[in-house]
Amino acid sequence: MSKEKEKKDSPEQELVEELKATRKKMKAVAETDDVDPLEEARALKKVAEEVDTEAIPVIELKKGLRPRQTPEEFDWDSVNRKGLGRNYSPEQRAEMEKLYTGTIADIKSGEVVTGTIVGINDRDVILNIGFKSDGLVPLAEFKDQPDIKIGDQVEVFVEEREDKIGQLILSRRKARLFKGWQKIQQALDEDAVIEGFVKRRTKGGLIVDVFGIEAFLPGSQIDVKPIRDFDIYVGKAMEVKVVKINYANNNVVVSHKVLIEKDIEEQKAAILRNLEKGQVLEGTIKNMTNFGVFIDLGGVDGLLHITDISWGRINHPEEVLKLDQVVKVVVLDFDEEKKRISLGMKQLTPHPWDSLPADIQVGSRVKGKVVNVADYGAFVELQPGVEGLIHVSEMSWSQHLRNPQDFLKVGDEVEAVVLTIDREERKMSLGLKQLTEDPWTRQDVLTKYAVGTRHTGIVRNLTNFGLFLELEEGIDGLVHVSDLSWTRKIKHPSEFTKVGEKLDVVVLELDVANRRLALSHKHLEENPWDTFETIFTPGSVHKGTIINKTDKGLVIELPYGIEGFCSVKNAVKADGSKPEAGESLDFKVLEFSKDERKIVLSHKATYSAAEEEKPAAKKAKQPSKGKTIEKINQEVEKSTLGDLEALSALKQKLDNSASASEEK
């Protein structure tokens, strides 16, 4: 009995029994209690790790935890009735659950967590993130931290909780990008100023490293003034603001200009408040265009127009100015609402007209350089800022205006005569033709162009009433349309000649005082109508060809190229049909007028004798009642009868009729 008790009281036996009892209790808890056994075991493990097991033996520790009990003394009925763990109060259970849950981390893919370096090898860095297994990160992702060591904490991105082989996949590079995008978005939302590093130059701007992400800094957003050399910013830190994020293209746009625009606006407002016309300011040339330059006045820009740069004429501002040049300008005008300022530079120097020599008067000969050629003339610069206009009409004595470029071109050195000068209006007109003698004032003009002299000229212009012929430079004459041909009826000179062709003429009239010259081409030959009068006598029959047919009648071409007219009723054939253009028929002359160069014909009269006397009979039937002698004479002069004897008889008859009327 004593041996059994001794055996029962041995510590080893008690520990075995205690473990068996614990297993039974844990099994009962698993079956009856809702506490997770795994969490309870981890909690117990954590508590055990905190106890210094080397200092206190396990048996002694257990002895000190509770009083020694024998199996007979344990209340098994209470355990069976309440279940294992039912003796804990709600506060104690909550505290235990807190201890259990704190030992296991909730890890999800696609998030950034903090891990501790627990190992480093040649290829990877091993990190503990509180998951069931450690993760690996390539050592290459720690190039920026060559002095890492075990125990350091770093942020990593969880790519996969378990890959195909059950490995936890982590990435430090993606963690930096993930955090970088978060910081960039936060900077955009809060309109915060962040610092970036300019890595390199690219087309249209710079690439800036912001939180490990490459952002684009446009050239227009670097500064308020244009930047021509982007390389000066490469390799330097720069404060910027995020202005745009495009997640679809992973694109970030930043600006340095917005940081200084606020200060610039304040400076601009201050400058505009104190701005006055005539105020002299100092500025820097920031941009050049064809029409002028833009000058930075210290926060506000002003336009210096090309015409206000110099009193002399310039083609481009770069001829006298350079970029970034500091210049003094005067305020000519400004618009406070539109914030536009007009500047001038030449106004700071005296006007060149004020120093123009007094001996330059009308009639003076001056020399200058052609600086501009327009459609109406050329501008000649006598000295910088002093120009005179040579109108195209003053370039030659010729009456026919031509293009000024036919006489002058830009850069020519010319001599001219001052025609007018106005020092107050600062205007001057010059002439080139005055350097030569006026051809109309030459002494030989009366003999050279005397009436009856023959000349050859060039057709310069055509009009409805005639053409102008240039005999020499400055001497023009008019050829009336009726003086072009004896035989042809010309309605417009273009039917006879063209501009630029040569034409022989004879002088009919000369008026030197009015600079007029009447010319004729047909008078180079004798008047053929003197001869035609003997050939185409009234009553004579001639062969003619119909060259034109109108509503009024036919135009007939007679021998010698002369034309006649046949009315519609006199053009009827013997068979009653009407002739057509191109037919050749016999025509009888009814009327011939040398002065009017008119021949009236009739085809019907060739086969009907009654038609021959109709024109005379028609004139005899004209009423004479109430007519004066002068009016009758006018009517007679307008008669188209060609027979002189019949005309005389008719006139006598009319005179007798008029006398009888007066006696009544």
* pLDDT tens-digit readout, 524-576: 887 777 778 888 888 888 889 998 888 888 988 888 878 889 998 888 888 88
pLDDT at 619: 42
Q: Which run of H or of E encompasses 635?
A: helix 629-637
* Phi, psi for 216 (deg, rounded to 5): -100, 125
Q: For residue 580, give every residue at least 6 positions away whose Cβ sits within 8 Å of its Cβ, in sequence order, or none.
A: 546, 549
Most confident of 100-109, 138-147, 642-651: 138-147
SS3 content of the chain, % helix, strand, coil (to 5): 30, 30, 35
Interatomic CA distance for residues 224 and 264, integer angstroms: 8
Evaluate whether 290 touches 316 at the Cβ level (below 8 Å).
Answer: yes
pLDDT at 213: 83
Which of 178-187, 421-430, 443-452, 619-628 is predicted least confidently?
619-628
Most confident of 51-60, 80-89, 262-271, 638-647: 262-271
* Average pLDDT of the segment spanning 378-403: 84
Report pTM: 0.41
Evaluate whether 600 touches 640 at the Cβ level (below 8 Å).
Answer: yes
pLDDT at 393: 85
Interatomic CA distance for residues 198 and 501, integer angstroms: 76
pLDDT surpassing 60 at residue 639: no
pLDDT, tens digit, for every residue of 352-364? 888 888 888 888 8
130: confidence class by pLDDT, cuts 50, 70, 90: confident
pLDDT at 158: 82
pLDDT, tens digit, for every residue of 619-628? 434 443 333 3
21: confidence class by pLDDT, cuts 50, 70, 90: low
3-state secondary structure of 373: strand
pLDDT at 429: 92
Evaluate whether 369 touches 380 at the Cβ level (below 8 Å).
Answer: yes
* Average pLDDT of the segment spanning 267-290: 82
Q: Which residue has the higher pLDDT, 271 or 305?
A: 305
Print the SS3 string covering 240-271.
EEEEEEECCCCEEEEECHHHHHHHHHHHHHHH
Which of 87-91, 438-442, 484-488, 555-559 is predicted least confidently?
87-91
Mean pLDDT of the chain: 76
Interatomic CA distance for residues 222 and 204, integer angstroms: 11
pLDDT at 39: 57
pLDDT surpassing 50 at residue 616: no
* Average pLDDT of the segment spanning 252-275: 78
Please, is 535 exposed, middle or buried when counting C-beta atoms within 10 Å of its C-beta (0-12, 13-18, 19+)? middle
pLDDT at 626: 36
Interatomic CA distance for residues 149 and 125, integer angstroms: 10
Interatomic CA distance for residues 426 and 424, integer angstroms: 5
Interatomic CA distance for residues 544 and 554, integer angstroms: 11
Crossing angle of helices 37-50 and 90-101, rounded to 10°: 80
Interatomic CA distance for residues 72 and 79, integer angstroms: 14
62: confidence class by pLDDT, cuts 50, 70, 90: very low
The two structure tokens encoding residue 478? 């008019």
* Average pLDDT of the segment spanning 210-214: 83
Hey, what's the torsion of the CAs at 184, 190, 192, 196, to 10 degrees?
A: 0
Tell me the one-letter amino acid at 535. Answer: I
Place of tokens 């001052």: 418
Evaluate whether 589 touches 537 at the Cβ level (below 8 Å).
Answer: yes
pLDDT surpassing 50 at residue 299: yes
582: confidence class by pLDDT, cuts 50, 70, 90: confident
519: confidence class by pLDDT, cuts 50, 70, 90: very high
CB neighbourhood size of 483 (10 A)? 20
The two structure tokens encoding residue 173? 């590079």
Most confident of 54-58, 154-158, 496-500, 648-652: 496-500
Place of tokens 């508590």: 47
Q: Which residue has the higher pLDDT, 495 or 93?
A: 495
pLDDT, tens digit, for every residue of 391-422? 988 888 877 667 888 888 888 899 999 999 98
Query: Which residue(s) pair with 476 in the sheet?
Result: 470
pLDDT surpassing 80 at residue 161: no
The two structure tokens encoding residue 188? 């955009």
pLDDT surpassing 70 at residue 155: yes
Q: Measured between alpha carbons, how far is residue 362 from residues 12, 234, 381, 454 in Å? A: 142, 66, 17, 39
3-state secondary structure of 581: coil
pLDDT surpassing 50 at residue 382: yes
Place of tokens 């990190």: 127
* Phi, psi for 168 (deg, rounded to 5): -80, 120
Where would I find the H helices in 33-158? 37-50, 58-65, 76-82, 90-101
Q: What is the DSSP letter of 616?
A: H
